[in-house]
Amino acid sequence: MRDRSAPLAELIASESTTLRRQRRRSGGASNAWCAVCPESLAPRTAVAGLNRGVLTIKVDNASTKFEVDRFLRSGGFDALVREAPASIQRVKIILGA
């Protein structure tokens, strides 16, 4: 009889490696986002990653994208930069959370 758990174990190991890599790349930016993001926006947003100083935030829809943009422009970006241990130069907001 064939061992059916081997392909599943390989998939889990691969996904685990990907998640560890993403967590390292975010440099604590995800925790910083959670700390400064307003409660009304938090469930509709997710940190996609931090690459070369650009923090990417995924949002549910266009109205949430607008709200996040307004939040960042009204002082949220400065609070995020102060809170994050990694250097954040810019925030990119994308649809698809």
**Which tokens go with 44?**
């509709």
Per-residue pLDDT reduced to its tens digit, 55-89:
999 999 999 999 999 999 999 999 999 998 888 99
Helix, coil or strand: residue 52: coil
Report the alpha-carbon distance of residue 38 to residue 73 in Å, rounded.
14
Give how many domains the chain has, as a whole number.
1
- Straight-line distance from the first to the last Cα atom of the chain, in angstroms, rounded to the nearest whole number: 41
- pTM comes to 0.73
Per-residue pLDDT reduced to its tens digit, 23-51:
666 668 888 999 999 999 999 999 988 88
Rounded to an integer, what is the distance from CA 76 to the centroid of its chain?
16
Q: Whole domain around residue 66: which residue ranges? A: 5-95
The CATH number of whichever domain residue 53 belongs to comes to: 3.30.300.130
Pairing type for strands 54-59 and 45-51 reads antiparallel
